[in-house]
Amino acid sequence: MAVRQKAVATLPTLMRALRKESPSLPQRLPSLRRAFSLYDQINLIDNVPEDQLRFQGYTDSGFTVNGVQYEGSLLCVGNLMLSWSPKKMSDITTNSLSIFQVVRPIPEILIIGTGRYIQPVDPEIRKFIRSTGMKLEAVDSRNASSTYNILNEEGRIVAAALLPYGVSD
């Protein structure tokens, strides 16, 4: 308590001293290069480990992942990527998603990329996904691949079932 009282008592004197002092030269701001020298250590976007999947682009017929162009639909679980048979939203069935009955650890979320436009997910598929313990998010394929990147970079266990962007039922 005595330390606090002493600090409070010294505060007015300190304030007066600071007002009287006027620096002869203007204070320079630190160099931005020096201020951001840790940038490379915290930049998640550019420093992705080589074994981590990263969607870098998309076309009407496929995706670019880690610098390689893939045609058709893709199924990604963590850092595993597979070619996937559905060509349009109506082709997605519980059978086409049956890998999630055996994959461990179970992803916390499945992101379905529905092509160019957001499309409704069959209630039977929603029920199946819930039964596995995952959450489901259905968005257009462009946003699905971006969301996958973010969640995967955070180290979360995530899955994506992506139709090419040009697909529309």
* Digit-coded pLDDT (tens) for 140-162: 999 999 999 999 988 899 999 99
Cα distance between the two ends of the chain: 73
Is 90 exceeded by the pLDDT of residue 106? yes
Strand 55-58 and strand 62-65: pairing?
A: antiparallel
pLDDT value of position 127 = 96
168 vs 71, higher pLDDT: 71
Go through the chain and tell me how many residues it has: 169
Query: Is the confidence at residue 34, as pLDDT, over 80?
Result: no
- Asked whether the predicted pLDDT for residue 102 surpasses 80, the reply is yes
Enumerate the H helices of 21-115 as residue ranges.
32-35, 39-42
What is the structure's pLDDT at 140?
A: 94
If one compares 154 and 25, the residue with the highest pLDDT of the two is 154
Q: Which pLDDT score is estimated for 51? A: 74
- Is residue 14 scored above 50 in pLDDT? yes
Q: Are 85 and 91 in contact (CB under 8 A)?
A: yes
- Coil, strand or helix: which one is 82? strand
The pLDDT of 61-80, averaged and rounded, is 92
Q: What confidence score (pLDDT) does residue 158 get? A: 96
* Cα atoms in the 13 Å half-sphere on the side-chain side of 44: 10
Instruction: With cut-offs at 50, 70 and 90, classify the pLDDT of residue 105.
Output: very high
The pLDDT assigned to 52 comes to: 86
> In this predicted model, which residue has the larger pLDDT, 10 or 62?
62
pTM of the model: 0.71
Look over the chain and give the mean of its residue pLDDT values, rounded to a whole number.
Answer: 83
